[in-house]
């Protein structure tokens, strides 16, 4: 028996001495390799039994001998769906595309017609609400926050000055605007705004204090910074506040920046973060343990209402599970490639 196994093993080794070419050859080589490994293990066990004749040996079946599951199949990129300006475009997970921007034109989804209409040339940027009902628009030579009702076309220029990015609450009912000493919350339906001032000791920010909505519509977050020198600083934690009152809720030991208002999972368990020096390197962390669940290299990413993550890298949209596993990939149509896209939840 031992001689037969050794001879078969030598033959298999000789078979692999060349470099196999083609799929069939590689499959045969892999089959030879698996059989050779099993035979070598059997030969070793048999030799051990012969040499140790005075000690009875029982060869147990090890986990390595069990049939192993095949690795998960790689998710292939689905072909780009057709884009029609008269119809709603949906991304992975069925989320609607709300706005399309390039250097010269801005298109926004019209919730009444279901198509995309071009905004006037004076609009230089747009931030649609997640429900697609309204949008904050920026116009040339205007520093005031302006709200546009996308159903009626009616606009409202608020008294709030925009000094940084604005962010919508998840339900689309309120707008958060950061200031050097605190923040303002705008309620378009009531046409009113509320200012909140934060204690100076709680405003240890980076170059600017950038508040963002955090895990729902009642809390906001602000990264806290520690100075390492005159020219260097790092994130030392994230403070969360009750949005209406400005009262501190807790200090989270998160050493990175939440990416935006959709950085927290709907259940508040996970957080998408980035390092200030590498904005396209995104980590999904578990807030309670600070454990990194997954890492992405993407242009942008956001949690969706179902707890999955939608991200874009080049001309491909990818949807990830909360574990970081890839669920689906879809190519962007040519009409949307290279443009700034905003999706709903």
- pLDDT (0 to 100) of residue 177: 92
Q: What is the tally of helices (H) and strands (E) in the chain? A: 2, 25
Helix runs in 117-188, H state only: none
- In this predicted structure, what is the pLDDT of residue 56? 38
38 forms bridges with which residues in the sheet?
Answer: none
Q: What is the pLDDT of residues 50-83, one digit of tens each?
A: 333 333 333 333 334 344 444 445 789 999 999 9
What is the DSSP secondary-structure string of 311-338? EEETTEEEEE-TTS-EEEEEEPPTTTTT
Is pTM beyond 0.85? Reply is no
Q: Do residues 99 and 137 touch, judged by C-beta distance below 8 A? A: no
Give pLDDT, residue 281: 85
Give me the pLDDT at residue 150, please: 92
Residue position matching structure tokens 């998160």: 254
Strand partners, 339: none
Q: Where are the domains of the chain?
A: 2-65
Q: Are 261 and 345 within 8 A, CB to CB?
A: no
Residue 167 pairs in a beta bridge with: 176
Say if strands 340-343 and 97-101 run parallel, antiparallel, or are unpaired. Answer: antiparallel
pLDDT at 206: 64
CB atoms within 10 A of CB 236: 15
pLDDT tens-digit profile, the chain (345 residues): 444 444 444 444 444 444 333 333 333 333 333 333 333 333 333 333 333 333 333 333 333 434 444 444 578 999 999 999 999 999 999 999 999 988 888 999 999 889 999 988 788 888 999 999 999 988 887 888 999 999 988 999 999 988 777 899 988 999 999 888 889 999 999 999 999 988 776 677 766 778 888 877 888 888 877 655 555 667 778 888 999 998 888 888 887 788 777 888 988 899 998 866 667 888 999 988 889 999 988 888 999 999 999 999 889 999 999 999 999 999 999 999 989 999 988
Name the token pair of 327.
Answer: 């669920």
pLDDT at 312: 92
Residue from 285, 326, 320 nearest 304 by CA: 320
């Amino acid at each position: 028996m031992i001689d037969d196994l050794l001879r078969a093993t030598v033959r298999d080794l000789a078979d692999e001495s060349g470099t196999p070419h083609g799929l069939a050859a590689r499959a045969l080589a892999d089959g030879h390799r698996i059989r050779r490994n099993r035979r070598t293990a059997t030969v070793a066990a048999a030799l051990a039994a012969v040499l140790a004749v005075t000690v009875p040996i029982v060869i147990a079946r090890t986990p390595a001998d069990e049939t192993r599951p095949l690795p998960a199949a790689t998710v292939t990129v689905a072909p780009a769906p057709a884009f029609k300006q008269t119809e709603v475009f949906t991304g992975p997970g069925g989320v609607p595309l709300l706005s399309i921007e390039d250097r010269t034109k801005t298109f926004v989804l019209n919730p009444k017609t279901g198509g995309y209409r071009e905004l006037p040339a004076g609009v230089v940027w747009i931030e649609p609400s997640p429900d697609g009902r309204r949008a904050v628009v920026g116009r040339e030579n205007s520093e005031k926050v302006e709200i546009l009702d996308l159903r009626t076309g009616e606009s409202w220029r608020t008294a709030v000055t925009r000094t940084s990015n604005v962010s919508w609450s998840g339900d689309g009912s309120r707008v958060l605007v950061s200031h050097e000493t605190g923040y303002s919350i705008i309620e378009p339906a009531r046409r009113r705004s509320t200012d909140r001032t934060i204690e100076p000791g709680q405003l240890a920010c980076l170059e600017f204090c950038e508040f963002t909505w955090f895990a729902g519509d009642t809390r906001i977050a602000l990264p806290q910074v520690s100075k390492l020198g005159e020219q260097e600083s790092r994130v030392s934690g994230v403070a969360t506040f009750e949005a209406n009152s400005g009262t501190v809720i807790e200090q989270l030991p998160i050493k990175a920046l939440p990416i935006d208002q959709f950085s927290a999972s709907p259940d508040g368990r996970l957080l998408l973060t980035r390092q200030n020096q590498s904005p396209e390197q995104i980590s999904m962390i578990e807030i309670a343990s600070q454990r990194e669940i997954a890492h992405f290299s993407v242009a942008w990413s956001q949690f969706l209402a179902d707890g999955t993550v939608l991200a874009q890298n080049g001309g491909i949209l990818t949807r990830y599970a909360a574990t970081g596993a890839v669920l689906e990939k879809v190519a962007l149509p040519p009409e949307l490639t290279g443009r700034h896209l905003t999706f709903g939840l």
